[in-house]
Structure 1
Amino acid sequence: MPFRQRVARHFGDSLSPTAPYLSLTGDDIKSLRYDWLTDNNIAFWEEWLEREILPHYSRARIVLLRPSMTFLLMQASDVKSIGSALPNFQKVTHIFLPVNDSRDRERADGGSHWSLLLVSVIDRVAFHYDSLGGANFYEAQKCADRLSKVLGIPLRFHQMDDCPQQENSSDCGVYVCILMRHLLIKRLLNANANEKVSMSMGNKVIDSHGARKEMLKIIESLRKEGERRRSASPFANSSRTPPRIE
């Protein structure tokens, strides 16, 4: 569903295309509070980064691939046939991909573990960050191999063994989101062009509980802003039934 339509579904057609956005269900919010993050949770976070962070760096050529697109890349029988469904990578320098361990081609929301693949197109390296040891090693290697075919370049796969590790069975998606933001902002967007950037995360500490609270706070703030804009609309209190002409 196009972005404008998703905005309208939640906040009403009176919002402009640049209005605050929200594309989450009640189940998604419940998962974000207590459980394993859904595709929608991670897609929302990527969209937030794209609209709140990336616009401040106009020269950046970075793609945050949605979980659904990573799933398509992983499951398509013919990689070349899905090229038109993926973003144009021609001038892209880096690509973030949330990797899921689902092997069911019929269920994009299946699987039980998330990890993060960061591909440096300019360096031809795929960095894999897995908060549960090497649980997604096979899936990440497959994802890098398939993306390599789409890009038409070889990619050297590098498992980041110093990735922060989760302490339970449900925080993997949260780790993906926080690692993505940290790598995007601290390692890529604010990097000095004259210095070699380390992609190690050995000293990074992730507070998963605090991260969930922060993400929920962002969502609530956007929801309130959407309600404020909706209430300010001249059509907010009008009847949904069109007037009858006698």
Structure 2
Amino acid sequence: MSKLVADEKVLSYGDVLLLRSDLSILRGPLFLNDRLISFFFSHLSSSLPNPNPDRLLLVPPSISFWIANSPDPASLAAAVDPLRLHERDLVLFPVNDNPDVTVAEGGSHWSLLVYDSAAGELIHHDSIAGANRRAAMTLAGAVKVFVGDVKFVEAPTPQQRNGCDCGLFAMAISRVVCDWYCKRGNGEGERWFGDLQKAVDANKVGELRGELLRLILSMVGRK
């Protein structure tokens, strides 16, 4: 695929602009980029039967990365304060292991960090156990500035079988967490961990790649 074709815009959804190259990633299988995860988060957030929409927040990967790596506390506060993290029941943050803030679309692994205000915890789900712990703890340290001294927890997480499905796992886990929250309103009571073990495994996550591609193509067809 030529660069001109790869950079062709195929869909604008909220603040997310998808390119033809993003469709190629889904046809891959290839490592998911920020745009695809941002699209999934945006679509998931808008389609949830959420009784408390202001209490659940899905943070785009670019903002999550900025929170973890911003060198300027004043600029960070200006960007994060409008998110009102301390007012939320749950906040979902994609975690990327990109060590170089100057490299866009860097990194080689995704995981998910969930702020659960009722439990006073930042819960990390990593589909390659331990791979993103350092990046997740860096993000957790930055988030604590805005939500208080909550506990960092590594949670039981279904494991991937290849090197490219981590972003899909992060998305599939996000959907389980959001479904759990919407069923329970304020998110109190039994955690989503049991639901996660039932709903997410390597085979089911692999199907999400095609599901997401079909969703995007259907939206492109409605333009």
Question: TM-score band, normalised by the shorter chain?
Answer: 0.7 to 0.9
The change in CA–CA distance for 1:66 and 1:168 in structure 2 (over 3 A counts) is same
The change in CA–CA distance for 1:217 and 1:21 in structure 2 (over 3 A counts) is farther
Q: For residues 79 and 20 of structure 1, what CA distance do their matches in structure 2 show?
A: 28
1:25 aligns with 2:22: no
Identity of aligned residues (%): 27
Select the structure that is richer in helix.
2
What runs of 5+ residues in structure 1 fail to find an aligned partner? 1-8, 13-18, 227-246
Name the larger-Rg structure: 1
Q: Secondary structure at the match of 1:111?
A: coil
Which residue does the alignment assign to 1:42? 37
Select the structure that is richer in strand.
2
- Report which stretch shifted further, 96-105 or 194-203: 194-203
Q: CA deviation at 1:199?
A: 3.3
1:165 aligns with 2:159: yes
The change in CA–CA distance for 1:146 and 1:29 in structure 2 (over 3 A counts) is same
The change in CA–CA distance for 1:29 and 1:191 in structure 2 (over 3 A counts) is same
What runs of 5+ residues in structure 2 fail to find an aligned partner? 1-8
Check whether the contact 1:46–1:64 (CA below 8 A) recurs between aligned residues. yes
Q: CA deviation at 1:192?
A: 6.3
Q: For residues 152 and 15 of structure 2, what CA distance do their matches in structure 1 show?
A: 35
Check whether the contact 2:37–2:61 (CA below 8 A) recurs between aligned residues. yes
Per-residue CA deviation, residues 74-123 of structure 1 (Å, 9 max, x unaligned), is 11113343122232324211110000000101023100000000111232
1:188 aligns with 2:184: no
Q: Secondary structure at the match of 2:87?
A: coil
1:148 aligns with 2:141: no
State TM-score, norm by structure 1: 0.77
Corresponding pairs, count: 207
1:85 aligns with 2:79: yes
1:178 aligns with 2:172: yes
Aligned residue type for 2:67: L
Check whether the contact 1:68–1:108 (CA below 8 A) recurs between aligned residues. no
Which residue does the alignment assign to 2:209? 212
Check whether the contact 2:127–2:159 (CA below 8 A) recurs between aligned residues. yes
Q: How does 1:49-68 map to 2 (within 5 A)?
A: 49-53=44-48, 56-60=49-53, 61-68=55-62
- Report which stretch shifted further, 130-139 or 187-196: 187-196
Check whether the contact 1:164–1:204 (CA below 8 A) recurs between aligned residues. no
Q: CA deviation at 1:165?
A: 0.5
Aligned-pair Cα RMSD in Å: 2.3
Which residue does the alignment assign to 1:197? 190
Q: For residues 51 and 130 of structure 2, what CA distance do their matches in structure 1 show?
A: 35
Q: For residues 186 and 25 of structure 2, what CA distance do their matches in structure 1 show?
A: 39
State TM-score, norm by structure 2: 0.84
